[in-house]
Amino acid sequence: MNQYPLLYGQGYFELEQISPGQRLHPEAAQAFLTMCATAKRDGISLTAYSSFRSFHTQCVIWNDKWQGKRAILDSASQPLDITKLSDEQKLWAILRWSALPGTSRHHWGSDLDFFCPDLIQQAENFALVPATYLPGGSHFSAYQWVEEHALEFGFFFPYRDDLGATAPEPWHISYRPLSEQLQNKHQLHELTQVIQDAQIAGKTTILSHLADIYQHYFKQINYL
C-alpha cells in the first residue's frame, strides 16, 4: 500500500459539498465559495462543473476512451478516428485532454473546472473546450474575472498555457496552498505500483512510457 493513497485518488478523505454532486477538500471548498460570493457581487455566477474525481472515476473515462466508447479529441477539439492510431499514438492523444488515472489533480479535492450556467447561450452546446473561454466564447467574461482575481483566493491555472503536453484548460483552477503540498508528495514509483495493480486499458503501453508521461503530463504545469 502506498503511503498516501489519496494522492492517487484511492484513499478516503473528508470532502465538503460545494454544490449538488460537487465536492472539494474543506479548505479548497471554503476558498472557492468565498471567491464565488465575491464574483457574484460583480455579476459573475461561478459554479463547479467538475471537482473531486476518484481514481475509479478517472479510470472509467480512460478505459472508455481507449476502447472507443467515448470520443478522443485532437488539439482543435475535433474527434479522432482511433482505429487508425497505434496504441502509442492513442496514448498521447488521450493524454492531451485526459489525465492518466493516478495523476489527475482532480484526485486531490484541490482542483476544479468552473463554468457559469447563466452564461450558456440558448443554442449553445456547452463543452469544456478552449473556444468557450476565449474572446468571443460565452464564458470569456467569467474567465477574465477569474484570471484577474484567482490569486486573491489562493487559486491558479495549472494548465493556462499550451506547454506541448496537456492542452490548455482555461476552466481548470487549483487551490495552491493544498495542491502544491500534494504534488510534492506524489511519487513516480508509487504511481507505477498503482497502475500495475489497476484494471486499466492500455496498461503495457502506459507502463513503457510512464516516466515520460509523469514528467510532461504531470510535473509540467504553469506554476503561477
Q: Based on CB atoms, which residue is closest to Zn ion, 10 or 104? A: 104
Measured from the Cβ of residue 121, the count of other Cβ atoms closer than 10 Å reads 9
Give the footprint of Zn ion on residues 98-117 (CB under 5 A). 113
Give the interface size with Zn ion as a residue count (CB under 5 A): 2
HSE-CB of 78 using CA atoms within 13 angstroms: 2
Give the footprint of Zn ion on residues 110-149 (CB under 5 A). 113
Min CB(61)–Zn ion separation in Å: 12
Q: What is the per-residue binding string for Zn ion in 162-201, x denoting contact by CB under 5 A?
A: ----------x-----------------------------
Q: Based on CB atoms, which residue is closest to Zn ion, 134 or 211? A: 134
Using alpha carbons, select from 21, 204, 182 the residue that is nearest to residue 108: 182
Q: Based on CB atoms, which residue is closest to Zn ion, 96 or 207? A: 96
The Cα–Cα gap between 138 and 131 comes to 9
Q: Based on CB atoms, which residue is closest to Zn ion, 113 or 147? A: 113
Min CB(6)–Zn ion separation in Å: 18
Q: Grid coordinates in use for 13? A: 478523505
3 state SS of 139: coil
Kindly give the interhelix angle for 140-149 and 26-41, rounded to the nearest 10 degrees. 120
Chain Cα centroid distance, residue 33: 19
Where on the phi/psi map is residue 202: left (φ > 0), alpha (ψ -120 to 50), or beta?
Answer: left
Q: What is the per-residue binding string for Zn ion in 39-58, x denoting contact by CB under 5 A?
A: --------------------
Q: Based on CB atoms, which residue is closest to Zn ion, 47 or 192? A: 47
Q: Which residue is nearest to Zn ion (CB)?
A: 172
Min CB(113)–Zn ion separation in Å: 4
The Cα–Cα gap between 196 and 2 comes to 13
Binding positions for Zn ion, rule: CB under 5 A: 113, 172
